[in-house]
């Protein structure tokens, strides 16, 4: 398993479940949305790193 992807899933899921407790969102929905947001954050970071390497 790729470490950045795993980290994004864990952090996104944690944020989603925390939001379900604080904002009253359904836990499953918040977990799925958090994981998706974590994966998008990882994809953005990987894209920036690839672009940075291409400019060198």
Token pair 């992807």 in the structure block, residue: 5
With a pLDDT cut of 70, the percent of the chain lying above it is 96
For the chain, give the mean pLDDT.
91
1 pLDDT above the threshold of 80: no
The angle that helices 27-55 and 3-23 make with each other, rounded to 10 degrees, is 140
Q: What predicted TM-score, i.e. pTM, was given to this entire model?
A: 0.83
Given a contact cutoff of 8 angstroms between Cβ atoms, the answer to whether 26 and 20 are in contact is yes
Instruction: Determine the average pLDDT of the residues in 2-30.
Output: 92
Other Cβ atoms closer than 10 A to 40: 12
Closest listed residue to residue 10, CA positions, set 37, 28, 47: 37
pLDDT at 56: 75
Please report, for the chain, the start and end positions of each structural domain, with discontinuous segments joined by +: 3-55
Q: What is the largest CA-CA distance in the chain?
A: 47
């Amino acid at each position: 398993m790729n470490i950045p992807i795993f980290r994004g899933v864990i952090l996104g899921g944690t944020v989603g479940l925390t939001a379900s407790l604080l904002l009253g969102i359904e836990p499953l929905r918040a977990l799925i949305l958090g994981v998706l947001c974590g994966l998008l954050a990882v994809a953005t970071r990987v894209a920036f790193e690839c672009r940075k390497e291409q400019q060198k």
